[in-house]
A and B are shown apart, each in its own frame.
Chain A
Amino acid sequence: MKLAYLYEKNACTRDVADTVFDGSFDAIVCGLGTAGSIAAALLAEKGYRVLGLEAFNCVGGISSAGGIEIHYFGLPGGRGHALAVEADKMAAEYPMPLADGRRITLEKLLLERGATVCYNSAAVGVYMEKDRVVGVRAATPEGVRSYGCRVLLDCTAEGHVARMAGCDGYFGRTSDGQAQPFTSVVSMTFGGKVGYINLDTGRVDPRDGQAMSAAIIDGRATQRPEYPWMHKVIRPMPLPGIREGWRLDAMEMLTAEDFFAGRYTAEPGYYSYSDIDKHGEDVAFESELRGDWKVGANVGAWNFSVPVPWKVILPKRVDGLAVVCRAVGVDREMASCVRMLPDMYKLAEIGAEAADIALSRDIPLREIPYGELSARLTASGCLDPAHDRGVWIDGKADFDGKPLQPRKIEWITEPEALAEPLATLCPGIAIWSAKKMGYTCVPVLRKLLASADENTRKHAAFALAAAGSREGLSILRETVWERDAVMLQDCRKYNQHRGPMAIYHLGRLADAESVELLGGILTDPCEVEREIYAPSDRYPAVRGFRVLYFHFMAQSVAALVRIGNVHESERGRIAEIFRTAFADGTYAARLTNRPPCSAEANYVRNLKNIAEKAIQGWSDGKEFAF
């Protein structure tokens, strides 16, 4: 037997042949958070001996000690969801915030079902027989203990156990390896009620213990005792709100590329339903798929349902282990929409049912028959074909703050039908439809370029670019030259301004004629004095961050990098623009006065970092990858 553990972020093993377990269980659940508490309860309910190890002193994780009471999306259904609803109903009876009540009621449900719960206890190693997990080494209040198990569920949110076991995985975006900003959640009183707000604090790699500690401390140290839009802070919640972490290289992966290409899994476990969430302002440095969706077409806050393969919980090489948390096998785009509370309840149910089948038949998790699993999930409502809803505009409030009427999106398939939406401030459906149609829609769009209507002309140029055509380049340049600050209205939030959208398309088309135009945005110190960048209702000065100016700058950096990638002859000129723009800290001072540990300061630093990385790559003969 070997003990697998982490050392300097790498998985290591050592022989531990003489280990005697302090106890043995059918299943051990590491992390009793949103998913882990439900998974442990479901397994205990089936009569298994279940040990739950929780690093903090309560169950519920981010949904209790993290202050995240609700998630805006995800779909109900299934036994796991029902259990969570049961806990919430009981908690609603208490005169306290739901997040506090959950600590009591989720724990009650767990203990009533016979699970053994160890608080202040965390996995620090994994016992393995060849490639099979057979136990856990845990730091507990009583000291370090070893427990044997037949199945181990990693519900640590970060895939901490899977990483120890040597499972492969992914982290961060391609451009600079960073994840979405994390949040320091605080509870506040407002209007006689308790509410929670997310204070985005910066970016951090949750696999890095020291960086994580520093980020938590910085985040809390910079909190204010009160905020203008609410009343007083009650307290910071003890758990940080990590939006994105490590992701498992699973037996079956869920990727946005497959989803948008219409390649769906044959073995779904449930349907996820959300938008591709994006909290960082520097979307310019995200993947091109996300850029096309969010910036190029301005449909980033549209929801869609996606069948999630049940095997996203299974590591490729390690048996006896399932990852039942945010760290499942998804790419970055899908990770941002497979992270809602209902997703965790459903993943918990899939993990518990899969473990039950494996334990009762004494077979490896990877060999359980999908037919039996899907029958169970369908019977409970976890896997419901009615949840295959397609694309929707959904949410509580629309772009103007008024109540949103949810509406289903049907993509346009006839080129002639593109004109009508392109004439409005909601051209997203036409732009993405044009992308799907490709060159077949170009003749129709070409005619629209000559339209006297500004919306039609400019949006047709966007649609042409999305379809891969360069015929609208001059209008795109004109849109940038004008610093067009019109904000489109396709989405309930995160709507794009036409200027940065035009820059994005110029970059995607690698338009070398735009180099001077884009360079001016970066290097002219008077650029910031333009009226469009002045603080407004949309971007109040209190944030200390000129968001629109930042978007113009960030998209210009990304576009110039794309142009340099394609046109080697332009690289010297672009490198000089970058050196001039980022020679000192004056560019940063024009953009923000937020503290260095803030998310905004991180975005601003990234401009320079991306530019420098691109220059370095080109000198090494490499293209910059988004």
Chain B
Amino acid sequence: MFDERCEVLILGATVAAAGILAAAGQKAVIVESRPDAGYEFFGALRTVRGKHISPVTEQGIALHKRFAARDSLRACTPLFYACLQGGRVYLSAQVLDISRQEDGFAVTICDASGERRIFAQHLVDTRAEARYITAKRLNVLFMSGRVAGIDLPAEADMTEARRQLAEKLPELAAGEEIVAVADEFDLTLADFRTLEYDGILRIASAGYADPISAFDAGVLLGEELMGR
């Protein structure tokens, strides 16, 4: 009946998801509709919001050390992807159905191979839920390393963001050359701590001030789920 089983199925290949994976290993499966991962920080061209990063988990501390050796958050992207290596990760996979079972969840996904039914004891959604998003920002990166952005209402979509970006470019760029426009929104969330409803655990990775904190929170949740 099921093509695959896992203890925890994680929606979104976010940084928090990587933290859960670090704790759960092969007992976890990550399902992501996008072709990339960690987009809420790296794809969003985010800068670190908090000054003091104090991970508490062993894995979080180790990752923090590796990140600290690089001169920018963007330069840490390969280090983040290394956290996903060897994991059961499905990128470009669409979730078709989630149904509650007596002892867990039945999740039907579809990727390039086709449909796949996965049984999971726990389901964790690490993506940002629309109802908690209070603001969005589309960041751009300049040649100098400066990051600036246009602020958007929570309901704005990428089309609207691109329209506004085109309008405000002269003011935003002020003669400086942009080297990259973000692939994803830099989100501000009203609440992002671990919540549970409908039996699904929710931990919005984008809500954390920095990727190390999101990863660390993921590790803690993963350890809890694994009964450690």
The residues of A with any CB-CB pair to B shorter than 8 Å are: 5-10, 12, 55-58, 65, 94-97, 100, 103-104, 107-108, 111, 117, 119-120, 122, 124, 139, 144, 158, 160, 164, 187, 189, 192, 194, 206-210, 212-214, 216-218, 220-225, 232-236, 238-240
Contacts and interface: CB of A to CB of B under 8 A. Distances in A.
Most B CB contacts (10 A, CB to CB) among A213, A222, A238, A239 go to A213
B113 interface: yes
Given A221-B85, A223-B78, A96 B140 contact: yes
A9 B96 CA distance: 17
Given A100-B178, A139-B94, A234-B179, A217 B84 contact: yes
Given A144-B96, A210-B90, A192 B143 contact: yes
A186 B143 CA distance: 16
Contacts of B81: 217, 220-221, 223
Contact of B115 (A6, A55, A119): A6
Given A56-B35, A192-B143, A217-B84, 15 more contacts: A5-B114, A96-B178, A100-B180, A103-B162, A107-B162, A209-B111, A213-B91, A217-B37, A220-B81, A221-B81, A223-B77, A225-B75, A225-B78, A234-B180, A235-B43
Given A95-B169, A192-B143, A187 B179 contact: yes
B112 A208 contact: yes
A209 B95 contact: no
Interface in B173-187: 173, 175-181, 183-184
Main SS class of interface, B? mixed
A238 B180 contact: no
Nearest to A240: B35
Contact of A209 (B36, B42, B90): B90
Closest 10 CB pairs of A and B: A6-B114, A209-B111, A139-B94, A96-B178, A221-B81, A220-B81, A225-B75, A221-B82, A209-B113, A213-B91
A117 B34 contact: no
Contacts of A7: 114-116
Contact of B110 (A124, A213, A224, A234): A124
A5 B97 CA distance: 15
Interface in B53-96: 70-71, 74-75, 77-78, 81-82, 84-85, 87, 89-96
28 contacts: A6-B110, A9-B113, A12-B114, A57-B158, A97-B179, A104-B162, A104-B163, A104-B165, A108-B166, A119-B157, A124-B115, A187-B180, A206-B112, A207-B113, A208-B112, A208-B113, A209-B91, A209-B93, A210-B113, A212-B92, A213-B93, A214-B89, A216-B35, A216-B36, A217-B91, A223-B77, A235-B77, A239-B35
B101 interface: no
B160 to A, nearest CB: 11
A232 B92 contact: no
Contacts of A224: 78
A292 B93 CA distance: 41
Interface residues on B, range: 35 or more
Contact of A236 (B45, B77, B143, B159): B77
Contacts of B71: 225
Nearest to A12: B114
A136 B139 CA distance: 34
B141 interface: yes
Main SS class of interface, A? mixed
A238 B35 contact: yes
A224 B77 CA distance: 9
B91 A216 contact: yes
Contacts of B39: 238
Nearest to A119: B158
Given A207-B113, A225-B75, A234 B141 contact: yes
Contacts of A94: 166, 169, 178
B33 interface: yes
A218 B85 contact: yes
B78 A221 contact: yes
Contacts of B163: 104
A205 to B, nearest CB: 9
Interface in B103-128: 110-116
Given A8-B114, A207-B112, A209-B112, A235 B180 contact: yes
A104 B178 CA distance: 14
Contact of A95 (B36, B75, B157, B177): B177
A139 B91 contact: no
B136 to A, nearest CB: 13
A64 to B, nearest CB: 10
A217 B78 contact: no
Contacts of B179: 96-97, 187, 189, 194, 234
Nearest to A105: B166
A213 B92 contact: yes
Contacts of A207: 112-113
A206 B184 CA distance: 24
Contacts of A95: 169, 173, 175-178
Contact of B91 (A8, A212, A236): A212
A297 B222 CA distance: 59
